[in-house]
Each structure stands twice: as C-alpha cells, then as structure tokens.
Structure 1
Amino acid sequence: MIPPMKEKETPIVTGVIRVHPRGFGFLPTEEYPQDVFVPKPHINGAVDGDTVDVEINTEAVSEKGPEGRVLAVVRRGRSHVAGTVVELAKKGAAYAYVPLLGDDLMKIRPSEERKFQIGDRLVIHVVEWGSARKESAGEMQSYIGHISDPSLDTIAAVEEYELSDAFSRAVVKEAKVFGEEVSEKDKKGREDLRQLETFTIDPETAKDFDDALSLTQDKKGNYHLAIHIADVSHYVRPGSRLDSEARARCNSVYFPGSVLPMLPFELSNNLCSLKPKVDRLTVSVLVDLDEKGTVLNYRIVKSVIKSAKRFSYGEAKLVLDGEKKSKHAKTLKLMVELCHRLKEKRYERGSIEFSLPAIQLHVNKKGDPEKVEFVEYDITHQLVEEFMLMANETIATHLAKEEKPLTYRVHAEPTSVNMKEFATLANAYGFNLPEAPSTRELQELFDEARESPVGQFLATSFIKSMRLASYSTQNIGHYGLGLDYYTHFTSPIRRYIDLVVHRALFGESSPNEDFEEIALQCSERERLSAKAENSVILLKKLRLLHQSQKDDPYRKYDAIITQVKPVGCAFEVEELMIEGFFPVSRLSEDYFVYEDLRLVGRHTEQSYRCGDRIKVAVEVLDFITKTAFWTLVPSGRKKRRRR
C-alpha cells in the first residue's frame, strides 16, 4: 500500500522584526541570506522590535528575497512606549499618536495625576496591544512635557527609542577610580611615541578624541604613517560595571547640542580622549608605505603619545589654504599628498564614493534651533577618513590571518534585481550603465553625474537599493569599500565593537565572549540610534521652519525635485535638506499624466521632472507626526494651451 502524500510544510522562521513607519516589515534570519519581507497587511499587530514567528510564502520568494506573514508575536520588545496626545476622549481619556504604531492611535486611560491636553508628551505603559480588530490601550507612566517645548526633544527621543541617559553612581564611581592623569605605572611596557609630531583633527564641537595622526617621509620617498587610537580597553575591562554599561549602550548617540555617551565623561571626554599636551595611552598602527601608497609593512603596538595640537577641520583647512600659519603645515600637506595616493588606490580597487551634502544643526541652551550650517566634505575630512580606513583594514586583515575571533564590518552587494532596476533608472536619465555593473562602472557613473541635476538623486537611489552595512563574525567583505577584510577599530570611545576588537588584538577578550551576539546587538543599537538622531534632527528642522513662517508667513523656499512618480513629485528644500512631496492631485493648473519619467500637463505641456528647480511654501507643520505639508508655488511660466 502506498502511504498518503504529505502536504509540503510551509517554512516558519523566528526573529526580531523591524517595522517601517509605513507599516511593512523585515525579518533578518539565519535561514535566508536576505531579510524576509512582510507586507503591511500581514504584520498582524507586530511592532518594531517584537520577536515573531513568520510563515514564509514559498510562492512569493524571488531574487529580492523571501516574503512572509506574521503568525504570532512570541515576545513583545517593550512594555512601554512614548506618545503624544492628539485627541481628547470622554471621561478624561485620550488618544495618543505613538510612532511605533504608525497610523494607529493608542487609547490612554484617564489619569488621576494629570488632565490630558493635546500636545502632551507621555511615557505610556502598554496595557493591551492592538490588532486589526481592536485598538491598543495604555496608561500614563510619566509626563515628559508639552510638544511646544523644544528643550524636551532629546528626552522624548530617549524614551521613544529606549536609549540610556544618565549613568548609575556605581558606573561613575568606577570611572573616577582611574583619576584624571595617566600614571607612570600605566605607561610601563608600552612603546614611547611621544617624540613623534602628533595631532588630532576633529569637528569643532567634538570632545571625545578617539584618534591622532603622525606622518613622516624618508629620503627614499617612503611614508611612515602612525594612526594612534585611544586605548579604552586599558580602563574598561571585561566583567566590569563600565563594560556592562558600554555593552548595553553599544554606541554614543549624537543629538544637536548634546550627546548620550557610551562611557562616562570622566573617560570619554578626559582620560581616554587624546587631548593635546598630555600623555595618553593608545594602540598605534604603524604603517610604512612606498611613494605610491602601497603598504610595505606594519606594526601594531600598545603605546604612549602626547598630541601637540587639537585641530578642528576648519582650522586645518585654513592652514592648508595658507590663510593661517602653523608649525604643522608641512605635515598637513604631506598628509594630503598621501591621502591622494590612497584615494587613487581605493578607486582602482572599485571602492564607491559619494559626495552627498551634510548639515549641522545649531541649537541654543533652550533647545531652540538657531541655524543650519552646511558641512563641506573637504580634504581635511577626506584625509582623516582615508587613514582610518587604512587602520581598520589593517587590523581586520591582521586578525583574520592570526585566526583570532573577530567581528567584521560587512556590507553585502545589492541583489541582481535591485542592481538591474537601478541600471534601468540611470539609463532612463541618459547614462550608460549595464544591468550588472561593476563597482568601477558605478563610480564612473557617479563621477559623471555629480554635476548633473539628477546626480544627487541617482546617488541617493543607489544607496537606498543597497543593504545596510552591519557587524558579523561571518566575513563576506565590504562591497561599498571594495575590501575583502574590514572591521571597526578606530572609535573605541563611542563604539563598543571597536573596544571588542581592541581586546581581540591582544588576547584580552573574555573566554566566554559571544562575538556573534555582540555583533547582532551592536548592529541593532546602531540602527535605533540612527533613527533617534534623525528623528530629533527632523523635529528641529520643523521648528526652524515654524520660526521662519512666524517671521514671514509668505516665505517661499527653493527646492529641487528628487523623484517623479505617477502620484506626484518628491523634492528637497535645499536650505534645510528636508524632504517634501506634492501629489499630482494638487496641481490645479492642468491635468497631468506620467510619461518618460515626467509629469506632463495634457493641455499646457508644463512638465516636472527630476532635477527641476521649483519653489514651495509651507502649508501645515505638524510637530507631533514630524510632518510638513507643502504647496507648489506657480513658476509664472505660462505655456500655451494646445487646442
């Protein structure tokens, strides 16, 4: 007798889901090389950070990756959330906008402590998580303050993203034990490099100086580069309270005007910081290179240094431009020379480099944003980056050859589908790119497009098509940098992974260290920290817009269209680097249709395409949802109607 055929079992995977604000999610798993995509209708009440069981839809698996649906929430990622009251209900209850829930509001039970007002920021204890059939419910755990108070923006983000703020007394006490100066005892057994001309180059506002540089050149033209990194591992030992706290935080978080450090200020801003004119303990990577920038040999040593100067990027640039005198001018110019050699070699191996604009937000003591400053990625930034890349690659290669445990910084290449879609997009804008381009061909495209109106759009589109870099014990190389071996070593004051790598170098890791668990935890905390930073920056930009509107209600802003879709146009307000969108339904001057990557007026032939410069005006600002609604200002260019 033939046994009955068993139905094919549907794979079920378990993991921590990442939910996008628009409602869909991704589940990283060991079973699949790509994250499992979960469409919004199949989220089934899960929120960002929940541990879930996901059923894989085997018929929907494609080159882009598997697709699935949430079967059950195994464990909630948190018991409390941050939210803002947007609606008052009967009997003292209210409804709050909770970013974690997307468009769904959470009902807040009446509180004896406070009569709710619209705009109240709350920490909410979740009583019941919602689903498609019922609403989420919670009760006020604590009152943060009102949305109108900008001094509370960072505090609200700390609650929303479950970040760590103040250090416990025990942790601070442990940090203070080391004193304020490096002892003679601590210097013993280290290579004395205090005779080298050494200095730091950092942002103007920085206080935690992780790295310092030295460079000389001999008569043969060979370069002798020294990259000195703060020896945080000397103070933060495995099993200590400092180590437990640093591991829980994983990284420092930087907000406009403030920082949540990974380590207490006694270490991060003092004893570990490579401040000028004082002895500091470091791990130095000493690299000898020929005149073309090829590495001849290297050494990695525990050392003592004394930085001679603390340069800001701006001051170093003034020296290089001859606008300010400095006894370090010759060395700075030599660093620029070596930087160019290294950039050439990086270009040859297929590293991809983007030149996207960046800004710095300045706030006052009350948290009010005062101005936005554009940060130029000039040669001083580039030389520091090149030398840090060299140090990180050297350490990764060294540890891999030594077969020591290592957490790599990995970056997978884009899927063939994503690459093909990007090539189609680039070709539609007149560039020649094959369906499966090499990194060299991609870099040539970005170089060619840099001065084009669509250059920034193409670079941003490619970045979005790539997977995020992360940490892993499984080395797959770093696609963006074109490297076989790469790790993070150069910032142990602000990144826990770097501290772990320092310990691995000298065999100082805990014998029971779970490197893969650390890699996963640090990758996740990095993602959350970036979301928190971006959230506060966006809110500050909206506050700046609000102030600008109060000063001039009719103000118009210059913007550039960054993407055109059948439903409308995305744009960026250049002054603030803030994104906006106007739907095609709001274009009243004509009926617009989508053709050839443009929106074209059927009667007037007025068109909108990527790269076009436009003017927009603020219609509504919503601090609670961090949203700006815009109107398109007519250009005044009247095109003749077709008859």
Structure 2
Amino acid sequence: MLQNKSFVKRTRGGKITKVVREHYLRHDIYCGAPVCKVCDTSGARLSPTASTILIFDTNVVLHQIDLIENPAIDDVVVLSIVLEEVKNRNLSVYNRVRALCSNSLRKFFVFSNEHHKDTYVTDMSGESKNDRNDRAIRVAAQWYQTHLAGSAKVLLITNDKENKRKAIEEGISAETVESYVRSLSRPELLDLLVQPASEDVKMEDTEDLRPSKRKVIYSEHKPMSEITSGLHRGIYHQGKLRVNRYNPFEAYVGSESIGDEIIIYGRTNMNRAFDGDIVAVELLPQDQWHEEKSLALADEEDEEEDVHLVPGSADDAPRTIAAQGSAGVTEPVQNRPSGRVVGIIKRNWHSYCGSLEPMAKPAGGGGIAHALFVSKDRRIPKIRIQTRQLENLMDKRIIVAVDSWDHLSRYPSGHYVRTIGVIGDKDTETEVVLIENDINTRPFSSQVLACLPPLPWFVSSEDLANPIRQDLRQLRVFSVDPPGCKDIDDALHCTALPNGNYEVGVHIADVTNFVHSGTPLDDEASQRGTSVYLVERRIDMLPKPLTEDICSLRADVERLAFSVIWEMTAEAEIISTGYTKSVIKSCAALSYIEAQARMDDSRLLDPLTTDLRNMNSLAKIMRARRIERGALTLASAEVKFEIDTETHDPLDIGMYQIREANQMVEEFMLAANVSVAEKILKHFPLCSLLRRHPSPTREMLEPLLRTAAAIGLNLDVSSSKALADSLDSAVGDDPYFNKLIRILATRCMTQAVYFCSGDLSPPEYLHYGLAASLYTHFTSPIRRYADVITHRLLAASLGIYKLPTIFQDGPRLTSIADNLNYRHRNAQMASRASVELHTVIFFKKRYGIEGPVYLTPRGEKGGGEWYVDEQQQKIRKMDGSISYSVLQTVFIHMEIVEPQPNRPKLQLSLV
C-alpha cells in the first residue's frame, strides 16, 4: 500500500517548496508476541509466558532509561515512532534502547508501526507533531490490544496526563511509570525513577523550612533566543566549561570570541553548570576580575557546605592567595577575564560514581529518605536523591544520574541507578575508575566475535603465495617488550650487509588482514579507540584471540606482518626505505631486561645478541641526532608494581627503570612512524591521520621558568632545541633533580593529538616534543585504532588495497580523530587512577611516597601565618622564622588518612 507524505521546506535560495515522499505500508509486519494466533511467531522476541506487554511513550523512554534498562522491565514493544523521536532528541538514550533491542537476553521488540497499514496515522489539520505522534502511539497500543485478543494485557506507560486520559477514553489500558513500578512490589525500583523538576523545590521544603532557605540561590538561565542574540552581539561568549580538578569552585571557559580563557569563580558564577557543559558566559566588570592564583582545596575541606552561595557571600570567594613580597605587600599580577554563566547551551550530564552522605534531617515517609550523593570526581557538586534503601547503600559505591537543577535548589536532583560494590573493595574501586573514565568493558558481541577466524589459526599456503606478501621467514626477527607481554605487535631485525651497511626492519602485526573496514569488529575497535592498561589488568580494544594469538608476533610461530625495511649505513644514515606486507617467524620474544642482559654480557657472541648490539649502536646514533634536532627527553613519575598472582594485590612498588633496550626499541618505532607518515601524506595529502604536538606558549612554560629561576637555573625556551639543551644542563646535587625538572616541563605542555591532514596547514603538523615535522602512529595496531587507520592508508599508498570510502568523508575522519583523542586521554587517566588506587592499597599499612605536605595540622591555630613568595618560589612564615623552597629536600611522615568519608588518600606531613 502506498501513502504519500508531504511537507514544505525552505531551500538554500530562500524559496518555499513542497516536498512529496512515498511512504509504503504493509499488512504482514508481525507483532513479535509468541502467543499471537495470527502472525508468524518464528522470530518472536517477547516471552511466551508474558502476562503484560508494555508500550512506552517517547518521554518515558527519554527520561526513564535507567529504569527501563533494569532486568525487572521486560516484554516491551518499542514503537518505531518512539525510536525515531528518541534518536532525534537524545542519541545516547537511542543507542541504549537499541542495545536493549539487540540483546537476545532481553525481551524487547521493535514494531514498525509507521509502516503497518493498520497503525499508520495521517496528519490531522491543526494537529501538532507531538500530538500526532502521541495519537500514533495510542493507535498502535489499541491495535496490539485487539490483535492479541486477550492473550496478554497491553499496557501503555505514559506520564503525560492528557495522553493517559485519551488512552483510557479510547479503551486502552494506561498507567504512569510510578504507578506501574509500584504494582511490581519492588520498592528498590522506585529509586530509579526520574522525579519531575518541581520535586527539587519540594525536597528543599522538607529539608529546612526556614524562610531564608527559600530565597533564590542561583540566577535563572537566559532563554535560548536571548542567548543567541547575545552571542551575535558579543554580549555573551560561548565555550565549554572545564572545572579545576583540584578546586571545584574554579572553572575555565575557552572563548574564541575574545581569544582567551574566561575564569569562573564560585558556584554562584558557575550558575549550575557542570564540567563539560557548553555554556554562555557574560564577562564581569573589569574591577571584579581576579588574579589567577588559586589554591587546590584539600580533601578535608568541606567544600560542599559552601554551596548554598549568594552573591557577595564570603563562602563564594575564590580560594586564592596573593603573591607577596617580604614586607607582606601584594605584588601586581595581571588579571585574567572573569565571568559568570548566564545559560546552558548543551548539557553534559551523565552518570556519576560515588557514595551517599546522610542528611542531617532525613525527610519523607513510607521508607523514603533524602540523601546527598558525593561523587568521586571532586568537580561534581553533591547530588540530592531520594531512596528507600538508605541503610543498605551507606557503605556502597553507587551510580547516580542527574535529572534537574532548579535555581531555588542548592544541589542538583538525581536518582539512584545501581550499586557497584562495597566501598574500599579493590574490584569495586577499579570498576569506579573504569566507569568514571568511560572505559568500555562490555564483552565483545556475537556479531564482533563472528568476524574472527577460527582457532587454531595458522599462516596458510594462500598467504605465502599471495604476491602482495613477502616471505621473510628466513630473517632473524625478534621482539623486545615488557615482561609478560602477550599482545606483541612489533618485532625487529638487523642484518649486516656485505657492503658494510645494515638492513634493519620493523615488523608490525598485520591487524588489518583480520579487521576489515565497515565490519562489526572494525566498528567496535573504532569506538573503543585503544586498549587500556591498569595495574592488574588490561582492557583490550580487540578480542583476545586476535591480541594474544592470531595477530601477536609470538616467538617460534609464523605470523603476518606489515614491514618497514631500511638500508642504513653504520652511521645510521638511511639509504633506502621499503614497505611490504610480509610473513615472519620470530626467533625470540625477549623482555627489556633479557635484551639488556644479553647486550651487557660480553661473553655472549651469538647471532641474536650481535644483532641486538648492532641495532643498539644504530639507535644511539639516531637518538643523538634526534636530540640534536631539538627532540625533548621528558619524564613522568611512572611507577611499577609487583602483583600477587592470586589476590592481585600489590606486593611491592618502585620507579620504572628505563634501559638502553627500551630506548633502542623506541628509536626504531619512532623512525618507522616517521617513514610511514611521509609515505601516506605523499599519496593522501588531505585524508592522512597524523599526530601533532603543539608548541607550548611562553605563558604555558611560565611555571617551569619560575621554578627554575628560584633555584638558580636559567632555562632557554625559545625553541625545543634550546629547551632540550637547558634541561640537559640542569644538574643538581640530588640524582633525582634532573628528572624532577623534566617532569615539571612535561606538565607545562599540552598533549599530542591525532588530526586529519586536511584540517590543518603543513606548518601545524609539527610534533614539538619529537622535533619531527611529520609523525603518525603505525607500530601498535593491536592496541591503538589510529594505527589501524594508518595501516589502511599505507596499504592503499602501495596499491595493495583500495582506500575505504570513509576516507572520502572529511567530517567523519575528523570525528574519528576526536574520538581517538578522547579515548586516548581517558585511557591515560584510568591508568593513573589505577596506580593511585594500588598505591593507597599498598601503603595502607606502610609508608607513602607522594602527596601534599601540610606545614601545620589543618585547623591548628597559632604558630604564625604563611604566605607564598611567587617570585622566589618559596613559602614562608610571616615572622620569617621558617621558609621552604621549591625542590628542597625535607623529611616527612607518611600515612593513609580519610579526612572525607570514603575518600582515602595518601598524606605527607613535614617532621
């Protein structure tokens, strides 16, 4: 059956035109219920014993998705009109609904009501689109009710009073969400309900009836029409709000319109904005601009008790300390633009991990208690929730979602989502780390696993006969990795040639031979972006059969590779570069320690050890040449743990040691990445995926310069070469001194990022830290999706395969690069958080190694006041009796403390 749909639209030229589209209707779309006596039930998704079939309207799906995801909610018909509306309004919720519908363990069925001749409805004159869609939902519910003829009850779930009224008048069974949940006799499910925004104010009433508490706490947000007008006129400035990780009362909004960051001080000026929100900001008068000298708040400061802020309140003052001279006079410091949030353009609310803090006066009856949720992320304000399981949740890490934040409320309102586990349990806290950093830990789907070749897998005769693949099994190939590494994606060889030169090869796992563009496996890897390495576990980007077996370049097995092979002189000058798909057979999988021991043992003269020494000699020359060009040798406070194989608890901790073997491998990986970058950019100047490291500005390096000047160092930061030379000459009495200076330099710089070559001009391709004009990632495709993309580009540049069509879509490539940067950053943050967690576990009954040093116990009066001398980088007592300088060696007492409930930390105190 054919139905025409028509609408009018404005063309680019400004003309109004009528568009008519054909809409096909069918009568053979089945209902999905196995109890149906009419439809084909072979593909039925609902339960054969279902007594009630649920149909949700669009707003219920949008706002109650946490409830819908609960296993207690099953036998749901998802109408196509609802899916379409949800997709247009919230893509994240849409993806969650789609996941439910594709999960074979859940009984969710998508019914194409818009294409069934009995459920499709035409537009009525004067009817709004929302009313038409509500009517379509009711018609579909009524059809199901008639179609199933009493075999199962059909229940429409809606919170829209008018929609419910009309449904009942039309003979359709309908209930509100809360009414239905109460009928299940599962009180804990009520905690999942999103309360209407007005509930926020009602909860304020129950907490404290003093009139002063009902005053306006925050300014109302401007309507979008006024925000848009203000942005066009330059009155307001748009940007993403980023809250200081160490001081939740301070935030920054990057503004292109003024070419600077706007500082937002205090909860009042933040005006209910969350970290990551896109906001509209109004600049404050210049005499209200503050100095950028904020202090990090200590964990034990009860920062959230200061949230009931009013303009002019002392509690709302920025936590700053002025730079003072010896006489106690404030030295002039250039002020930065300050502003206040006037509206939210796009919310960044999501679910948060944390624990409950009991309220002073729990309110409510019938077992309902109001409580404040404290996020593990200090940037997030406390969230008010109501729960019927307060006692059970007090010692748990839980997840809470934000629902609303009224301008009359001190806190945002939210609802309980689920319990993670007991506070302090290692597995629970690790899961918190993964959730907070948006790390995907879901098992790979059956569709993804179906893309893998069956095990056991071997190199086939077809692979060996393939003309695009070179047989390199005769080469003495080896790998050098951290101890216990199973996902080996790079191997090396170094062969002395008769002419005195060397043939050196970098062989990388040929992942794209198994991960084909556009497949479910490729889509999953693209979304995950990178493998994540925690202290005691690894979350893979690809399924383990690939990472640890089929693609891993393990010793003594034949594997497929993508090879970069150079001819080099003894002075490490590159004579020629070749690229080829290959078959290799590694003769050894060495750890860094084993490789170093071989090179250091003068008694060993075997061919493999000779290859290692020759390669190391070349690497040293290459490294020296790279540093001479201005490459930086930076540092980080990287630690390693010895883990108990049974309990997975940390047994020992120490600094990670870098050996010559590490630097040897690093040098040839860098060289391979540069060679591949040059190759792919030559062939694909507009769609190559490259990696850049922006040059730091003088302002970014100012903290490093001030610290260096305070200890008598004069650092030259005019170029990367000048900075590298300055860092090399920074030698102190303490052997750790130079590393500390390099750590400070690292923290002053931005991160390197992926980008599409067509998005920037060639001068912006520079990788500052490596002093490389071109750079990409090619050498780790098992653990980084960026390298998978690079492999496809390189294969296409060699004429092996055609470039996938996605490379013709510039915006899509940019989106992929953005996701890779996001995933890479999150993986780093998760790794650091895992180290912090295991550090706390290790030092719980031992001493600690890192953390803030308190000059006097917090809250202790007397002993004189302290001030910071920014110019000399010292902190002194006002009476001049004691002073401490940056990088000064001191004796400390270390212990694990818990100044805030459920926030254990490592505390260092001067002794």
> 37-46 vs 528-537, which deviates more?
37-46
**From 133, 140, 164, the counterpart of 2:416:** 140
Which has the larger share of strand? 1
2:274·2:380 contact (CA, 8 Å) conserved in 1? no
Can you list the C-alpha shifts for 1:245-274, whole angstroms capped at 9, x where unaligned?
Answer: 111111011111101100000111111111
TM norm structure 1? 0.84
Pair 1:524 & 2:822 matched: yes
Instruction: Name the aligned partner's letter for residue 400 of structure 1.
Output: L
Cα 1:331/1:617, change in 2 over 3 Å:
same
Instruction: Name the aligned partner's letter for residue 456 of structure 1.
Output: K
Cα 1:592/1:179, change in 2 over 3 Å:
same
Give the whole-Å Cα distance in 2 for the aligned partners of 1:344 and 1:126: 53
Residue 134 of structure 1 aligns to a residue in which SS? coil
Aligned twin of 1:121: 397
For the pair shown, which has the larger CA radius of gyration, 1 or 2?
A: 2
Aligned residue runs from structure 1 range 583-598, under 5 A? 583=855, 592=866, 594-595=868-869, 596-598=872-874
Give the whole-Å Cα distance in 1 for the aligned partners of 2:257 and 2:689: 20
Give the whole-Å Cα distance in 1 for the aligned partners of 2:648 and 2:372: 27
**From 580, 601, 610, the counterpart of 2:852:** 580
Aligned twin of 2:660: 379
Cα 1:312/1:44, change in 2 over 3 Å:
farther
Give the whole-Å Cα distance in 2 for the aligned partners of 1:362 and 1:48: 36
Instruction: Name the aligned partner's letter for residue 195 of structure 1.
Output: Q
1:124·1:140 contact (CA, 8 Å) conserved in 2? yes
Aligned twin of 2:621: 341
Pair 1:429 & 2:711 matched: yes
Aligned residue runs from structure 1 range 532-611, under 5 A? 532-548=830-846, 573=849, 578-583=850-855, 592=866, 594-595=868-869, 596-600=872-876, 605-609=881-885, 610-611=887-888
TM norm structure 2? 0.61
> 315-324 vs 190-199, which deviates more?
315-324
> 391-400 vs 152-161, which deviates more?
152-161
2:677·2:774 contact (CA, 8 Å) conserved in 1? yes
**From 552, 574, 577, the counterpart of 1:295:** 574
Instruction: Name the aligned partner's letter for residue 382 of structure 1.
Output: Q
Give the whole-Å Cα distance in 1 for the aligned partners of 2:231 and 2:429: 54
Shift of 1:486: 0.5
Aligned twin of 2:683: 402
1:619·1:631 contact (CA, 8 Å) conserved in 2? no
Aligned twin of 1:560: none
Residue 806 of structure 2 aligns to a residue in which SS? coil
Aligned twin of 1:510: 804
Aligned length: 599
Pair 1:47 & 2:247 matched: no
Can you list the C-alpha shifts for 1:338-361, whole angstroms capped at 9, x where unaligned?
Answer: 111101110111001024452112
Give the whole-Å Cα distance in 2 for the aligned partners of 1:403 and 1:58: 50
Cα 1:223/1:70, change in 2 over 3 Å:
farther
> 87-96 vs 263-272, which deviates more?
87-96
Give the whole-Å Cα distance in 2 for the aligned partners of 1:523 and 1:457: 27
Cα 1:118/1:396, change in 2 over 3 Å:
same
> 605-614 vs 17-26, which deviates more?
17-26
Aligned twin of 1:570: none
Shift of 1:600: 4.3
Shift of 1:36: 4.2
Give the whole-Å Cα distance in 2 for the aligned partners of 1:451 and 1:620: 33
Cα 1:367/1:619, change in 2 over 3 Å:
closer
Give the whole-Å Cα distance in 2 for the aligned partners of 1:255 and 1:104: 27
> 526-535 vs 62-71, which deviates more?
62-71
Can you list the C-alpha shifts for 1:45-87, whole angstroms capped at 9, x where unaligned?
Answer: 3334444455688989999998765543334345322222243
Structure 1 unaligned blocks of 5 or more: 1-5, 549-554, 558-572, 634-643
Give the whole-Å Cα distance in 2 for the aligned partners of 1:56 and 1:526: 34
Aligned residue runs from structure 1 range 71-90, under 5 A? 71-87=342-358, 90=362
1:47·1:100 contact (CA, 8 Å) conserved in 2? no
2:476·2:587 contact (CA, 8 Å) conserved in 1? yes
**From 260, 264, 273, the counterpart of 2:552:** 273
2:510·2:561 contact (CA, 8 Å) conserved in 1? yes
1:276·1:307 contact (CA, 8 Å) conserved in 2? yes
Cα 1:602/1:98, change in 2 over 3 Å:
closer
**From 498, 507, 511, the counterpart of 1:228:** 507
Aligned residue runs from structure 1 range 168-567, under 5 A? 168-177=445-454, 180-187=457-464, 188-189=466-467, 190-322=469-601, 327-364=607-644, 365-404=646-685, 405-420=687-702, 422-434=704-716, 436-453=717-734, 454-473=737-756, 474=760, 475-507=764-796, 508-513=802-807, 514-548=812-846
2:274·2:349 contact (CA, 8 Å) conserved in 1? no
Give the whole-Å Cα distance in 2 for the aligned partners of 1:433 and 1:201: 36
Pair 1:629 & 2:907 matched: yes
Cα 1:127/1:441, change in 2 over 3 Å:
same
2:353·2:435 contact (CA, 8 Å) conserved in 1? yes
Residue 372 of structure 1 aligns to a residue in which SS? strand
Residue 127 of structure 1 aligns to a residue in which SS? strand
Which has the larger share of helix? 2
Give the whole-Å Cα distance in 2 for the aligned partners of 1:10 and 1:245: 42
Structure 2 unaligned blocks of 5 or more: 1-229, 293-333, 363-367, 797-801
1:617·1:632 contact (CA, 8 Å) conserved in 2? no
